[in-house]
Amino acid sequence: MDMSKKRNPLAVRVPDPFDSSARTRLIRMGLSDKDGKIDHEVMSIFAGVFAGLFFDDLCEYHDDTHDLLAIYETFQKLYKRQDYQHMYLLLSIQYDYIRKPLPDPVWWLAGDNNAVKEFMTLFMARYEHLMSDAGITRQEKEADKK
């Protein structure tokens, strides 16, 4: 057997959400069917869980609620413009900033624009709820000043 052709089990394959396996991974996670149709119910649960994780990660990293509010307001601006790709990029940047990897299941959404749009829409609904429940909104900050 020619050992030069044998795959090295220790070699690391860099995961790429834009390769041919991206759709298959979304199907395996239950987020999409084989035709690319997003399962809204599953995506809603997935986005809600991830929004909670994201919120907790931000709260653990940032000492000042003004930092949390600034991040949230940036997400809001992008959401109002329906700029889902930049929302996704901002999410990734926030994880880079707090020195944590973007969770793999979220990483695999990047290869599907419809999945990103659905995820970011549902993520934002939950994120808004979490910020409001925590009293970290512009209205809350303005009330604190009075």
From first to last of its 146 residues, what are the pLDDT tens digits of the chain? 455 555 655 555 556 666 677 788 899 999 999 998 999 999 999 999 999 999 999 999 999 999 999 999 999 999 999 999 999 999 999 999 999 999 989 998 988 999 999 999 999 999 999 999 999 987 655 555 55
Tokens representing 77?
A: 């601006």
* Contact between residue 53 and residue 135 where contact means Cβ atoms under 8 Å apart: no
- Predicted local confidence at residue 23, as pLDDT: 82
Host domain of residue 100:
44-145
Q: Work out how many domains the chain is built from and give that number.
A: 1
Residue 125 identity (one-letter amino acid): A
Residues forming beta bridges with residue 102, ordered by sequence position: none
Inside any domain, residue 107: yes
Inside any domain, residue 23: no
Q: The dihedral of CA 97, 103, 104, 107: what is its sign?
A: negative
- Predicted local confidence at residue 146, as pLDDT: 54
At residue 96, the 3 state secondary structure works out as: helix
Count of Cβ atoms closer than 10 Å to residue 135 Cβ: 12
Inside any domain, residue 36: no
Q: Name every residue whose Cβ is closer than 8 Å to that of residue 122 and which is 6 or more positions away in sequence.
A: 43, 44, 46, 47, 48
Inside any domain, residue 38: no
**82/59 Cα distance (integer angstroms):** 26
Inside any domain, residue 80: yes
Residue among 58, 80, 77 nearest 136 (CA): 58
Inside any domain, residue 31: no
- Predicted local confidence at residue 7, as pLDDT: 62
Q: Distance between terminal CA atoms of the chain?
A: 79
Inside any domain, residue 4: no
Tokens representing 125?
A: 């609904």
Residue whose entry in the numeric block shows the structure tokens 């009075």: 146
Residues forming beta bridges with residue 32, ordered by sequence position: 38
Do you know the residue count of the chain?
Answer: 146
Inside any domain, residue 8: no
Q: How far is CA 65 from the centre of its chain?
A: 21
